[in-house]
Chain A
Amino acid sequence: MITINVAMAVVLAVLYSVGFYLLLQRSLMRILIGIVVLGHGANLLLQLAGGPPARAPVLGTALPEEFADPLPQALALTAIVITFALTTYLLALGYRSWVLTGRDEVQDDVEDRRVAERERPEGSMEEDAEGPDDEEDPGSAAASDRTDEPAEVSGSGAAR
C-alpha cells in the first residue's frame, strides 16, 4: 500500500476536477483540453502509484532498497504515448468537425430530438425545433449546411 503526500494529492485533485469540469463544457476545444488535463492527472497518479518522488532510477548505481519502482514508470510511459496519439486524433476530428459544420461545439443528435418531439403535444414542438437556430453563426458559409437539419426536424414532426 502506497500513501502519497499532501502536495501531490492537491495537484491530482486540481487536475482531475479541472479535467472533468472542462469535459462538461459545450465547446469541443474545451472538451479536448479537458481530456488532455485529465490524461495528465491519470498519468501523474500512475507515477505516484510507484512510491514517493525523488528516488533513485533503476540503473544499478544505488542500493535496491532505494530504487524507484520501475513498473509504474513503464506503464505511465505507455499511457502517455496512447493519450498523446489519441489527443492528436481528436484534434484532427475537431478540425474536421469545424470545417464541415463551421462551429466548435458539440451538436445535438437530430434523430434523438425527432423521436423526443414525436411524443410531445403540437404547441411545444415549434419552440423547441427552433432552438438551435438562435446561436446561428451567419459569417460561416459551411453553417448553412447545418441549418437545414432543424428545419427538417419540424417538417417531419408536423407531418406525423
Chain B
Amino acid sequence: MSTLVTLPVLLPILGAALTVLAARSARIQRLIGLMVLAAVSVVAAVLLVAADRTGPVVAELGGWPAPVGIVLVADRLSALLLLISTVVTLAVLVYAIGQRISDYGRETASTTFHPIFLLLSTGVSLAYLTGDLFSLFVAFEIMLAASYVLITRRTNASRIRSGMTYVIISLTSSLLFLTTIALVYAATGTVNLADLAGRVAALPEGLRTLLSMLTIVTFGIKAAMVPLHFWLPDSYPNAPAPVTALFAGLLTKVGVYALLRTQTLVFPGTGPSAVLLVLAVLTMVVGALGALAQDDLNRLLSFLLVSHIGFMLFGLAVYDARGAAGTALYIVHHITVQATLFLVSGLITRRTGTVSIDAMGGLARRAPMLAVLFAIPALTLAGIPPTSGFVAKLALLQAGATGGAATAVVAGFVVLASLLTLYAMVRVWVRVFWGTEKEPLPDDDPTDELVVGTARASRPMYAATVALVAVSVAIAAAAGPLSAVTEKAGSDLMARTPYIEAVLGREAVLG
C-alpha cells in the first residue's frame, strides 16, 4: 500500500520524461498524458478509500524512517484533494488537446506543452502528499516553475508583462518560504511536519506567533489572499483558457491546502483566529467588489476566484472540526467549478472573438449549449441550492454559526459575498447571453492563443467542459458521503494524533 503513495508523484514525472522523448509524435504524447493522469486518478481513489478505512497511508522514501527521512502521507484530506485535482487536470488536458487539434492540427507535437503539463501535475501531487516542510518547498517550486513556462509560452508583449509579474511575485514568496524553513529549522531542528507538531509547541509563544505569521504570509501570497492578491487578476487572464483553468483550479488551492495543513498541524490555535477572520472578510469582499468592476470576462472570474479563497480562509479561521471540514468541502467544490468556468469562458471567447463582456450579446440564442454550460457552474459558484456550492457554503455557515459571536458575524459576510457573486454572474448572464445579438469580432492576432478566431471549438473541448459540469453535479449528488469524509478529515486535522501517529508511530503521541 505504501508504494502506492509514491505513484501520484512518480507517474507524472516519468510521463513528462517520456513525452519529451516522444516529441515527434503528437499521438503518443497525448496518449501518455491521458494515461498517466487517468492512472493517478485511480491511485488517488484507492488511496482515499484506504485512508478512510484504515487511517493515513505513509511511505518512507529511501527506507529512512521519519523524522530523519522524507515521508509521503496520504490522509483523508490529501487523498481527497489529490483525487479531485487529478480529475480536473485530466479534463483540462482533454480540453487542451482539443484546442491544440483545432488550432494547430492533429499532427502538431510540442516539446514543451505535454511535459510541462505533467510536471505541473507532479508538483501538485507532491504538495498534497508530502509530510515534510522542505519537500513542500520543492513541490511548490516544481509546480511554479512549470506554471512559469505555461503562462509565458508563445509570448507577446502583454503576456510577457503579466508573466513577469507572476514570476517575480512567486519567486519572492518562494524566497520567503525558504526563510521560514530556515527559521523553523533553527528553532526546532527538524522539517518533518509531524515532528514539528510536537517541537513547535515547546517554543516560546512570541517565536511561535512569528513563525505562524510567516507561513500565513508565504502561503497567503500563493493562495492570493487579500491584501496579497494583486498579482492574480493581473496574470491569470492573459494565459490561454486551459492554462488559466488549471491555475485557477489548482495552484491557489494548493496554497490554501498548505495553509490548512500547517495552521492545524504545526501551529494549532485555540478557538477562532482573529487575524484569519479579518483576512477572510477582506478577501471575500474585496474580491467580489473587484469582480463587479470588470469588463474582461477572465478578469471577472479571477476576482471571483480571489473572493472565494476568502470562504476557504473563513473555514480555517473558525478553527474547529466543522470549520476545517467546511474548508475541505469548499476546496473540492471550488477546484471543479472554477476550472469549469474558465473552460467555458474559453469556449465563449472562441464564439465571440473577444473577452470583453460589453462586446458580447445574445449568445443564448446563437449558442444555447454554451448558455447551459455557463449557467450551471455560475449558479454553483454562487451557491444556489441544490448545487455543490450550496452544500459547501452550508457547511461553512454551520461552522460559523456554532463557532461563537465573531465567526457568526463573519458568516454574514459569507452570505454577502455569495450574493455579490450571484450579482456578478447575473450581470455576465444578462450582458453575454441576453440582449441584442452581436457579430463575432474578427481575430486580429492569429498568433495569440487567448483570443483565437471564432466558432472553432472541437468536440474534445466541449466534452471536457461537459464532463467537469457533470463532476460538479456529481459532487452535489454525492454530498452525503462526501461530507461524511470531509467531516472525518476535519476532526482528524484538529485532533492531529492520526497524522502524527501514522508518521512517527504510537510512542510519539503517547510520549
Interface residues, chain A, with chain B CB atoms under 8 Å away: 1-2, 4, 19, 23, 28, 31, 35, 38-39, 41-43, 45-46, 48-50, 69, 71-72, 75, 78-79, 82-83, 85-86, 89-90, 93-94, 96-97, 100-101, 106-107, 109-112, 114-115, 118-119, 145-146
The stretch among B37-45, B185-193, B400-408, B415-423 that forms the contact with chain A is B185-193
Bound-state Cα–Cα, A45 to B295, Å: 45
Give the shortest distance, in Å, between B48 (CB) and chain A (any CB).
30
Q: Who on chain A is nearest to B190 by CB?
A: A71
Q: Is the CB of B156 within 8 A of A100?
A: yes
The stretch among B166-174, B461-469, B486-494 that forms the contact with chain A is B166-174
- Residue B101 interfacial (CB < 8 Å): no
Contact of A82 among B141, B158, B163, B189 (CB under 8 A): B141
The 8 A CB mask of B229-250 against A (1 = contact, 0 = none) is: 0000110010000000000000
Give the shortest distance, in Å, between A17 (CB) and chain B (any CB).
13
Q: Is the CB of B163 within 8 A of A93?
A: yes
9 smallest CB-CB distances across A and B, nearest first, come from: A49-B186, A42-B178, A45-B182, A46-B182, A2-B186, A49-B185, A49-B182, A100-B157, A97-B160
Contact of B294 among A41, A85, A107, A115 (CB under 8 A): A115
Contact of B155 among A42, A48, A96, A106 (CB under 8 A): A96
Q: A97-B161, A145-B157 are in contact. Are A45 and B172 (CB under 8 A)?
A: no
The 8 A CB mask of B178-205 against A (1 = contact, 0 = none) is: 1101110111110100000000000000
Q: Is the CB of B164 within 8 A of A106?
A: yes
Give the shortest distance, in Å, between B201 (CB) and chain A (any CB).
14
Contact of B168 among A42, A90, A114 (CB under 8 A): A90
Bound-state Cα–Cα, A50 to B191, Å: 12
Q: A35-B172, A39-B175, A86-B171 are in contact. Are A49 and B152 (CB under 8 A)?
A: no
B174 cross-chain contacts in A, Cβ below 8 A: 82, 86
Q: Who on chain A is nearest to B141 by CB?
A: A82
Q: Is the CB of B234 within 8 A of A112?
A: yes
B152 cross-chain contacts in A, Cβ below 8 A: 93, 96
A101 cross-chain contacts in B, Cβ below 8 A: 157, 160-161
Q: A2-B186, A115-B295 are in contact. Are A89 and B175 (CB under 8 A)?
A: no
Contact of B167 among A23, A42, A49, A93 (CB under 8 A): A93
Q: A72-B182, A100-B160 are in contact. Are A35 and B175 (CB under 8 A)?
A: yes
Give the shortest distance, in Å, between B81 (CB) and chain A (any CB).
24
Q: Who on chain A is nearest to B237 by CB?
A: A111
B191 cross-chain contacts in A, Cβ below 8 A: 71, 75
A1 cross-chain contacts in B, Cβ below 8 A: 186-188
Q: Is the CB of A109 within 8 A of B234?
A: yes
Q: Who on chain A is nearest to B187 by CB?
A: A1
Q: Who on chain B is nearest to A92 by CB?
A: B152
B89 cross-chain contacts in A, Cβ below 8 A: none
Q: Is the CB of B160 within 8 A of A93?
A: yes
Q: Who on chain A is nearest to B137 by CB?
A: A79
Q: A49-B186, A82-B141, A112-B234 are in contact. Are A35 and B165 (CB under 8 A)?
A: no
- Residue B145 interfacial (CB < 8 Å): yes
Not counting A46-B182, A82-B174, A109-B162, a sample of 5 additional A-B residue pairs whose C-beta atoms are within 8 angstroms of each other reads: A4-B186, A42-B175, A46-B178, A71-B191, A96-B152
Give the shortest distance, in Å, between B153 (CB) and chain A (any CB).
12
B149 cross-chain contacts in A, Cβ below 8 A: 89
Bound-state Cα–Cα, A96 to B152, Å: 10
Interface residues, chain B, with chain A CB atoms under 8 Å away: 134, 137-138, 141, 145, 148-149, 152, 155-158, 160-165, 167-168, 171-172, 174-175, 178-179, 181-183, 185-189, 191, 233-234, 237, 293-296, 299
Q: Is the CB of B299 within 8 A of A111?
A: yes
A115 cross-chain contacts in B, Cβ below 8 A: 293-295
Give the shortest distance, in Å, between B185 (CB) and chain A (any CB).
4
Contact of B157 among A28, A89, A146 (CB under 8 A): A146
Q: Is the CB of B145 within 8 A of A89?
A: yes
Bound-state Cα–Cα, A118 to B356, Å: 14
Q: List 29 A-B contacts (CB under 8 A).
A: A1-B186, A1-B187, A1-B188, A2-B189, A35-B175, A39-B175, A45-B178, A46-B185, A69-B189, A71-B191, A82-B141, A82-B174, A86-B148, A89-B148, A90-B167, A90-B168, A93-B148, A96-B155, A97-B161, A100-B155, A100-B160, A101-B157, A101-B160, A109-B161, A111-B296, A112-B233, A114-B295, A115-B293, A115-B295
Give the shortest distance, in Å, between A89 (CB) and chain B (any CB).
6
Contact of B172 among A38, A41, A112, A145 (CB under 8 A): A38
Bound-state Cα–Cα, A107 to B158, Å: 9
B185 cross-chain contacts in A, Cβ below 8 A: 46, 49-50, 71-72, 75
Give the shortest distance, in Å, between B28 (CB) and chain A (any CB).
28
Interface hub of B152, B157, B179 (most chain A Cβ within 10 A): B157
Interface hub of A85, A96, A109, A110 (most chain B Cβ within 10 A): A109
Bound-state Cα–Cα, A97 to B155, Å: 9
Give the shortest distance, in Å, between A86 (CB) and chain B (any CB).
6
Give the shortest distance, in Å, between B60 (CB) and chain A (any CB).
16
Bound-state Cα–Cα, A69 to B182, Å: 13
Contact of A97 among B164, B178, B179, B188 (CB under 8 A): B164
Q: Is the CB of B178 within 8 A of A79?
A: yes
Q: Is the CB of A93 within 8 A of B164?
A: yes
Bound-state Cα–Cα, A45 to B181, Å: 10
Bound-state Cα–Cα, A93 to B171, Å: 14
Give the shortest distance, in Å, between B70 (CB) and chain A (any CB).
11
A119 cross-chain contacts in B, Cβ below 8 A: 293
Q: A38-B172, A85-B145, A106-B165 are in contact. Are A45 and B160 (CB under 8 A)?
A: no
Bound-state Cα–Cα, A89 to B160, Å: 12
Contact of A110 among B134, B158, B160, B175 (CB under 8 A): B158
Q: Is the CB of A43 within 8 A of B160?
A: no
Give the shortest distance, in Å, between A157 (CB) and chain B (any CB).
11
